Structures are given as C-alpha cells and as structure tokens.
Structure 1
Amino acid sequence: MTRSYQHILLAIEDGVATLTLNRPGSLNSFTVEMHEELAEALTVVSSDDAVRVLVLTGAGRGFCAGQDLSLVPDDLGEVLERYYGPLVTRLRELPKPVIAAVNGVAAGAGANLALACDLVIAARSASFIQAFSKIGLLPDAGGTYFLPRQVGSARAMGLALLADKLPAQQAADWGLIWQCVDDEAFAATVQDTARRLADGPTLAYARIKQALQVSAGNTLQAQLVIERDYQRELGQSTDFAEGVAAFNGKRAPRFVGH
C-alpha cells in the first residue's frame, strides 16, 4: 500500500512501513505542511496492526536539513511545542521499532529527528550537524536530551557549541548511532534490518523501548520493578510461547507480534 502526500511518501509492505521525507530540492527541510502530513502518516502507522516496524528516511541526497530557513516562523517556541515536540514524542512512544535510515546529511532538527528513532543506520557518506549555533540557536527537537546521554557531556558540548560536521563513521564510533555502512550496502542493510524486526516479537520490542527510555531517570529498584511487571506480561504472550517452542524444537520462531 502506498499513500500519496505532497511532501512525504508512505509505503507499507509486508509489515514494514517506509516513511520518506520528500522535499529533495531543499534537503527535505521541514515546513508546517510537512509536519502535518507526518502527523497524519504516523497515525496510520500506529493504528495499523499489520505494521511491525517503521523506517524513516529522506529522498535525494539528504536525510533532513531541519527547519526550512526560507520559512522561519515568528515564534520558534510555538513551532517546537506544536510540531517538533509532538513528532519526537510520537516516534519515541510508537510501540514498534523505528529505524532512521540516514542516507545523507542530517542537520539541525533533522539530526535530532534521527536520534529520536530506535536504531540509526547511516550511509558512510552521511553526516550529522548540530547546526543551531551557526544561526544563534541551541539544539532543539530533543538534541540537548539525546546528545549528552549518547556521547557524554564533553562531546555533546563540542558538537553543540562548534556545530562541526560529524561523519557517519565517527558518529558510530562515538556511540551516537547504531551503524555506519558503505553506501553500496546501505539500502540492503536497512531492508534486512527492517525485515528482521518485522518478523520479531513486536510486543517485546515495545516493552524494551519503554524500559530503556525510562532507565536513566530511575533507581535500580524502580527499574527492577519495571522489569518484573513487563516480564510478567510478556511471559503470558503468544510470542513467548512460540519462542520457547521454537527453541525446544530447534527451529526458527514464527512470531505474530503479541
């Protein structure tokens, strides 16, 4: 199934939803219209039980260049509250794995959109730029939250203050992203990873996301309670029964996602 929008593309096939930012002439930079279309597409993805994984990528030579600076709003705070904040929150809370397939430059809010996803796979030619300070701003769209947690305070400060380009391989070496792959292997790697997740235990993936996202703010005891409660739920699931049966039968499991 393919849904047509003006600024994005949404294709759903065999449990994999691929959402493509589609303003290649402006490196897929954000407009209000794109935000509104993304919100609608994410509603489709979240409500479709047949979708087991979401891939977010960009058309052309870039992933996303952040806000379209030819359309700067009067109140940046309002735009963050109305559009960027809800977008990041929805990606984090989506009860399905989300892969950012970073095919080219990811700058400003575009870089932090990628970091809001569960796995970031980048082509070797891609790069990440916290470009905000170059125009007198601070990292937004979750940038000040994600950066220090993923690369530490020293590197986060350097990336934010200097706004230097961070090559994909260095981003992987620093632990900012999951994987950097050669350009010629990029599409196949994304496809294989999406297929693997789409065939996996979707409910378990949802609980893994939730448990890891709250762990940094929890005590050990609080986190042990979360593990107990989620594991109790998962232990009653169809997928757990199938996983055990497959293990004992020395065969590949056939998960149904619940």
Structure 2
Amino acid sequence: MADEGTLVVREDRDGWTMLTLNRPDKLNALTVAMFAELRAHIEDLRGDDSIGCVVLRGAGKCFSAGHDLDDIAAGEAVPSRGWHSETLRMLEKLPKPVIAAVHGHCYTGALEVALAADFIVASEDARFGDTHSKWALTPVWGMSQRLPRRVGPATAKRLMFTADMFGADEAVRIGLAEYAVPTAEFEQHLSELAGRIVANSVFSHAANKQLIDVTDGGQLDAGLQYEIMESPGRGPDYLERIAAFSKGKK
C-alpha cells in the first residue's frame, strides 16, 4: 500500500487503475476527507486517456463499513449540500467502466458508493446491507434511486425497511452483484477482468455507457431512436482492429 496518510490510493496498472479506500484501521469508514480524495481522483481520471477501466475497492478487511458515524455525530463539514451525491454522480459518469470490487463489509454509505459503479463483483466473504433506518437516517447519497434500479423497487424497500445484512450469494440472486468469486481468487480475478475490459475499445466503452445510461428506464422506441441519432459510430482505431482480426484468420 502507498502512503499510509493517503485516504484513497491510486495504483495504475496495465491500462487500468485500482482506487483503494485506505482507512483499514477504521474499516474504511467514509469521511468528508476521504470523499475529497476520491473526488480528486475522479477528476483526474476523467481526462486520463491512458486509463481504460477503474476498479474501486477497500484496503484491509473490507470494502467499507459505511459512513463514519463519529463524523456524523461531530457535525461533519460538507463543502455544499449534495456534495457526496454529486461526487458519486461524477464517479458514475466517468466515460470508462467502473467496477466496485467488494469484500467483507459493504454497508449503507459504502453500498451507495458501490452502486455508483457500473457493476459490483463480490468476494464470497462480502456482506451487504442498508442500515439507514436503524439509525433514523435517510439516504442522501443515492440509495433511494440506485438501489431500486438495480434490484427492483420491492426488493429495495425490503432491504431498506428491514436493515437486514446478507451475503454474496443473496446479492447475486437479487441482482445487486453480478457474480461472486472465491475469496482466495479475488485479487487475480480483478486483474484478469480489468485486463479483458481494457483489451477492448475505450471508444466503444464510453459510447455504450452513455447510450445505456441516458436511456435507462425510458421507452424502448425512444431509446432505439436515441441510439440511431446519437450513437457515435466507429472509433478511430476500428480499421486497425478489423485488420488485425482479419490477419489473424489467415
């Protein structure tokens, strides 16, 4: 791990980057300072064409235990109303795939962070839950909007009403996580997954992400029309990619 004083560590690999929430002694509980560092990384990544995929994970025992309740009790100083939500929307709108890699705890505010990724990959030891109602709190980082879009409104209400904790298998069953990976294989799998993604066109990834996000939840005919009118078509390296494929067939 990099500098122990760094709350979100960026590690660039072969065309992709790992962002690591780095308060392992506090189970990566989320503070304003941590969000500020996450936001700075997001801003840097937006214009970094050398990075084709982002993997977000936590250091130590878990992804994150959630919003730091001590910070809340102390009256945390937020730069502006909706600043946390705005930061996660910036993450969500990055023009490159973003994967939340969840192991261990992923509760409440941490789940809101994970939901801002394009999809969640869970280690078999992952545990999820929304505990807002346990503390007489309501979501302001996106839970009420992203969770029902991911798992359906009835399931979202059940999870929010009960504050139940559940494991990776249940997360996969309800569609919260895409799939679960044996804990011992998690690190290697993340590297292989990111490698497969960056081997494909960054142009296509950005276009596909926008096409899906803009039309999500809309009428099919409107979405089809949007695709026809707004799809950016062919990327700058499409001829090179096709030529390489054709050469490989000979």
Distance 1:109 1:213, change over 3 A: same
Alignment of 1:81-160 (within 5 A): 81-160=81-160
Letter in 1 for 2:59: A
Which residue of the partner structure matches residue 16 of structure 1? 16
| RMSD, aligned CA | 2.3
Query: In the alignment, is the contact (CA less than 8 A) between 1:96 and 1:205 conserved in 2?
Result: yes
Query: In the alignment, is the contact (CA less than 8 A) between 2:88 and 2:141 conserved in 1?
Result: yes
| SS of residue matched to 1:72 | helix
Which residue of the partner structure matches residue 245 of structure 1? 243
Task: Note the C-alpha offset of 1:192.
Answer: 0.6
Task: Note the C-alpha offset of 1:31.
Answer: 1.2
| SS of residue matched to 2:81 | helix
Counterpart Cα distance in 1 of 2:77 and 2:145: 17
| SS of residue matched to 2:233 | helix
Counterpart Cα distance in 1 of 2:229 and 2:64: 38
Query: In the alignment, is the contact (CA less than 8 A) between 1:3 and 1:11 conserved in 2?
Result: no
Which residue of the partner structure matches residue 184 of structure 2? 184
Which residue of the partner structure matches residue 256 of structure 1? none
Counterpart Cα distance in 2 of 1:77 and 1:219: 41
Q: Percent identity?
A: 33
Query: Is there any run of 5+ residues in structure 1 with no aligned partner, and where?
Result: 252-258
Distance 1:51 1:86, change over 3 A: same
Which residue of the partner structure matches residue 213 of structure 2? 213
Task: Note the C-alpha offset of 1:77.
Answer: 11
Query: In the alignment, is the contact (CA less than 8 A) between 2:82 and 2:140 conserved in 1?
Result: no
After superposition, what is the alpha-carbon deviation per residue over 1:168-212, rounded to whole angstroms, capped at 9, x for unaligned?
Answer: 111111111112111011111111111111221111111211121
Task: Note the C-alpha offset of 1:38.
Answer: 1.0
Distance 1:89 1:3, change over 3 A: farther
Query: In the alignment, is the contact (CA less than 8 A) between 2:130 and 2:160 conserved in 1?
Result: yes
> Comparing 137-146 with 3-12, which one deviates more in the overlay?
3-12
Counterpart Cα distance in 2 of 1:4 and 1:206: 33
Which residue of the partner structure matches residue 234 of structure 1? 233
> Comparing 4-13 with 43-52, which one deviates more in the overlay?
4-13
> Comparing 77-86 with 123-132, which one deviates more in the overlay?
77-86
Alignment of 1:196-207 (within 5 A): 196-207=196-207
Counterpart Cα distance in 1 of 2:97 and 2:43: 15
Letter in 2 for 1:110: A
Query: In the alignment, is the contact (CA less than 8 A) between 1:80 and 1:141 conserved in 2?
Result: no
| SS of residue matched to 1:238 | coil
How many residue pairs match? The answer is 248
Query: In the alignment, is the contact (CA less than 8 A) between 2:133 and 2:163 conserved in 1?
Result: yes
Which residue of the partner structure matches residue 173 of structure 2? 173
Query: In the alignment, is the contact (CA less than 8 A) between 1:234 and 1:240 conserved in 2?
Result: no
Letter in 1 for 2:242: V
> Comparing 55-64 with 206-215, which one deviates more in the overlay?
206-215
Counterpart Cα distance in 2 of 1:137 and 1:79: 20
